[in-house]
Amino acid sequence: MSAATNFLVGVYEDDDVIMQACADIRQQGVKIHEVYSPFPIHGIDPVLGYKRSRLNVAAFMFGITGTIIAFSMQVIMMGYDWPMNIGGKPQVAVPSFVPVSFEMTILMASLGMVFTFLVVSGLGPGARKLVLDPRFSDDKFILAIDVDKNTLSMEDMANLLKRTGATEVSHKEVTA
Amino acid sequence: MGAHSHKSVNLTDRYVFDGAGQRRVIIGMVVGLAMFALGVILMISGVGMSHDDHGASAGHGTEAHATAGHDAHAAAPADHGKSDAHAEAGHDAKATAGHDAHAAAGHEAAAAHADHHGPTWLTRVYANLWLNSLFFFGIALCGVFFVAINYAAWAGWSAGFIRIPMAFGSYLPVGGAFILAVFLLGHSELFHWTDASLYDKASPNFDPILYGKKAFLNLPFYLSRMVFFIGVWFLLWRMIRALSVKEDAEGGPKVTKFYDKIIVLAAVFIITFAVGTSMMAWDWTMSIDSHWYSTLFGWYHFASWWVSALSTIALTVIYLKEKGHLQHVNENHIHDLGKFMFGFSVFWTYLWFSQFMLIYYANIPEEIAYFYNRIDAWDQHYRLGFFFMLVPNFLFPLLFLMTRASKRSFLLIKIAAFAILGGHYLDFYNMIMPGTAKDLGGFGFTEFGALLFFACLFIYVVSKSVASLPLVPKNHPMLEESIHHDI
């Protein structure tokens, strides 16, 4: 058994309240471990200090790889390896290569994005994720603070959570 | 409202289309008209109206064509040239194109009729007016469509500036009147199928293909559906706008009855829009090349209008913001408009390419005639513009608007919007000119003058309409959501 992680868990009733709470708590110098919500809260990323995802850069890279693979494959096959006369078109008939290149771009970009996302988020078949309070998949908003990573006392932080609108505050020990 | 309570909106924000602004736009119209008139005078006196100098050169001087396949044609009165040399050159050039396209289409018997009436300066003038009428009418119509889809989808983000595209509808009667007038005056110049002799079995001009389309392509039916759709679109826009005005006066918090009524009207508008734009695309544009048809033409035509309208909406919103209005509209809203522009530029390309690629690949003569005219005919007269339009319509928006930062920059969205508008004007030019003005098509004073005139007319009518209402629909149920829009 590895060391247990101490979490202070605040339960909020409203997305606007938890958003304001995040801003206030971070202003006090307290690091927030994670916020769990039943639906995406627009605008919470900058409040939590998250940097923008670079998934789109990965998608572009995967996509352009797909384009290059598909296009060069067709040029090599149709133009040099096994030239065929199809309807009197030139061997390297670029317009007819576009659909395949397009599809390959989409395929590579989408699969690449999915797998990148799974790897980065530590998701995948059999992955176990921390559920501090199952009600976050119903109607509650959960704010978790990793106690050991903060300097404030547990009591102070619990009061801070209450002051910012948390209806319940509890301490949870999780063994990884 | 929690973290966003500091955001507010000026409910009495109103654009004033003042005297100086009106004067500028009217000067634009006058300059446009003057350029247009100058261009017409130059054309009448023959400047730039050589039926292509290339026509007489070796490449096209296929006398064999002219004599072998086109006796009837050669005998037709050469009423469209200024001099004999012109007339001959013109006949040669057209004989080549006409022969290839029509003989291939498998009705040699009727081959000669195709060019019984060659294009003149008048054709080019009408084609040009037709092009501008359609382009700006489409922008106005798609502005209303934007309103309709946003209401029908209960969209919140757009509520803060929904009055801008709503104002576009005020151009519908003006644009519709232009379309009707240009058609009534110029249909014999623009639309080959309106020639009555084509349907007369005794006539040498008899055209079995067009005879088969007679049930749909005939003047009474054509005109009635045109008037019907323009009228229905205009009426629905009037009703939606009236309800929005009434909501301002009688609505309030928790009052959604006006909103709900607009949603019903919006749904009706979307249906008539879907059916109508598709049919009007066949009627107004596709029937110029009256033998040819393409099943996705309605979509393609719509995509061109729609992305132009989105660019115009973005430009108008940014213009008003720069004038100090619409302060609650921020880069998040522009980001979404930018996404629309990006997405529908790709959508347009998808349709353009689908149409092009299938026809290119199948290489069936009656289908390829359309692209032959745009790529190879008349000594590759339209080739450069035809392929160049892929740059402003596809490559540029694709690469330029790809990143998040560029879609959130007012300046970059402005640049992209102008590129897209120019590109889609060129797209309409490529749809309309090759089938009408043929080798006489080109960009001169007439084209730029007419474009300037219509653009200024559109700006004038829409500005008046924008100024006639508060910019913010203060009782719109989604207004709060629009102000807090954040992506």
Residue B183 inside a domain? The answer is: yes
Confidence of residue B317 (pLDDT cuts 50, 70, 90): very high
Burial (Cβ within 10 Å: 0-12, 13-18, ≥19) of residue B155: middle
> For residue A137, is pLDDT > 60?
yes
The pLDDT, as a whole number, for residue B183 is 93
Residue B106 inside a domain? The answer is: no
Å between A173 CA and nearest CA of chain B: 31
> What is chain A's mean pLDDT, rounded?
88
Confidence of residue B425 (pLDDT cuts 50, 70, 90): very high
Q: Running DSSP on this structure, what letter comes out for residue A134?
A: G
Q: Which of B357, B399, B406, B480 to mutate to test the interface with A (most CBs of A within 10 A)?
A: B357
* Ranges in chain A annotated CATH 3.30.70.260: 4-52+129-175
Question: Coil, helix or strand for A29?
Answer: coil
Provide, as residue numbers in chain B, all residues whose Cβ is less than 8 Å from the Cβ of A15. Answer: 2
Which tens digit of pLDDT belongs to each residue from B426-438? 999 999 999 888 8
Residue B360 inside a domain? The answer is: yes
CB contact under 8 A, A19 and B3: yes
CA A175 → CA A131, A157, A172, B15, B53, distances in Å? 12, 21, 10, 62, 86
Domain A4-52+129-175 has CATH 3.30.70.260: yes
Residue B109 inside a domain? The answer is: no
| pLDDT > 70 in chain B, percent | 84
Predicted ipTM of the assembly: 0.73
Closest C-alpha among B34, B96, B45, B47 to residue B69? B96
Residue B274 inside a domain? The answer is: yes
pTM for the predicted model, two decimal places: 0.81
Which chain A residues in 46-105 lie under 8 Å from chain B, judged by CB atoms? 47, 52, 56, 60, 87-89, 95-96, 98-99
A37 in contact with B at a CB cutoff of 8 Å?
no
CB pairs under 8 A between A and B: 37
The pLDDT, as a whole number, for residue B44 is 85
CA pair distance B482, B476, nearest whole angstrom = 10
CA pair distance B167, B316, nearest whole angstrom = 11
CB contact under 8 A, A52 and B404: yes
The more confident residue out of B15 and B62 is B15
Average confidence (pLDDT) over B382-406: 91
Q: Which residue of B has its CA nearest to A20?
A: B3
The pLDDT, as a whole number, for residue B49 is 65
CA pair distance B347, B416, nearest whole angstrom = 16
The more confident residue out of B117 and B195 is B195
Closest C-alpha among B287, B343, B309 to residue B164? B309
> What is chain B's mean pLDDT, rounded?
83
The pLDDT, as a whole number, for residue A125 is 83
The pLDDT, as a whole number, for residue B7 is 64
Which tens digit of pLDDT belongs to each residue from B455-468? 999 999 999 999 99
> For residue B76, is pLDDT > 50?
no
The pLDDT, as a whole number, for residue B118 is 77
Confidence of residue B69 (pLDDT cuts 50, 70, 90): very low
CA pair distance B86, A1, nearest whole angstrom = 96
- For chain B, the three-class secondary structure string (H helix, E strand, C coil) is CHHHCCCCCCCCCCCCCCHHHHHHHHHHHHHHHHHHHHHHHHHHCCCCCCCCHHHHCCCCCCHHHHHHHCHHHHHCCCCCCCCHHHHHHHHHHHHHHHHHHHHHCCCHHHHHHHHCCCCCHHHHHHHHHHHHHHHHHHHHHHHHHHHHHHHHCCCCCCHHHCHHHHHHHHHHHHHHHHHHHHHHHHHHHHCHHHCHHHHCCCCCCCCHHHHHCCCCCCHHHHHHHHHHHHHHHHHHHHHHHHHHHHHHHHCCCCCCHHHHHHHHHHHHHHHHHHHHHHHHHHHHHHHHCCCCCCCCHHHHHHHHHHHHHHHHHHHHHHHHHHCCCCCCCCHHHHHHHHHHHHHHHHHHHHHHHHHHHHHHHHCCHHHHHHHHHHHCHHHHCCHHHHHHCHHHHHHHHHHHCCCHHHHCCHHHHHHHHHHHHHHHHHHHHHHHHHHHCHHHCCCCHHHHHHHHHHHHHHHHHHHHHHHCCCCCCCCCCCHHHHHCCCC
The pLDDT, as a whole number, for residue B245 is 93
CA A13 → CA A3, A10, A24, A135, B79, distances in Å? 32, 10, 17, 11, 83
Are B333 and B479 spatial neighbours (Cβ–Cβ below 8 Å)?
no
Residue B53 inside a domain? The answer is: no
Residue B272 inside a domain? The answer is: yes
Instruction: State the sign of the Cα–Cα–Cα–Cα dihedral A76, A81, A87, A88.
Output: positive
Q: Which domain holds residue B367?
A: 119-483
A125 in contact with B at a CB cutoff of 8 Å?
no
The more confident residue out of B116 and B451 is B451
- Picking from B2, B357, B486, the nearest residue to A16 by CB comes out as B2
Average confidence (pLDDT) over B111-129: 72
Residue B77 inside a domain? The answer is: no
Q: Running DSSP on this structure, what letter comes out for residue A80?
A: I
Phi-psi category of residue B384: left, alpha or beta, with phi > 0 → left and psi -120 to 50 → alpha: alpha
- Highest-scoring range by mean pLDDT, B30-34, B57-61, B199-203: B30-34
Are B394 and B349 spatial neighbours (Cβ–Cβ below 8 Å)?
yes
Which tens digit of pLDDT belongs to each residue from A19-35? 888 998 888 888 888 89
Which tens digit of pLDDT belongs to each residue from B224-270? 999 999 999 999 999 999 999 999 888 888 888 999 999 999 999 99
Are B157 and B321 spatial neighbours (Cβ–Cβ below 8 Å)?
no
CB contact under 8 A, A16 and B357: no
A16 in contact with B at a CB cutoff of 8 Å?
yes
The more confident residue out of A126 and B151 is B151
Average confidence (pLDDT) over B267-281: 95
> For residue B60, is pLDDT > 80?
no
CB contact under 8 A, B357 and A23: no
CB contact under 8 A, B2 and A47: no
Closest C-alpha among B137, B123, B150, B53 to residue B93? B53
The pLDDT, as a whole number, for residue B277 is 94
CB contact under 8 A, B363 and A87: yes
Confidence of residue B55 (pLDDT cuts 50, 70, 90): very low
Starting at the edge strand that comes first in sequence, how are the strands of the sheet with A4-12 ordered?
A34-36, A141-146, A4-12, A168-175
Provide, as residue numbers in chain B, all residues whose Cβ is less than 8 Å from the Cβ of A88. Answer: 363
The number of distinct structural domains making up chain B is 1
Which chain B residues in 383-422 lie under 8 Å from chain A, judged by CB atoms? 402, 404
| pLDDT > 90 in chain A, percent | 30
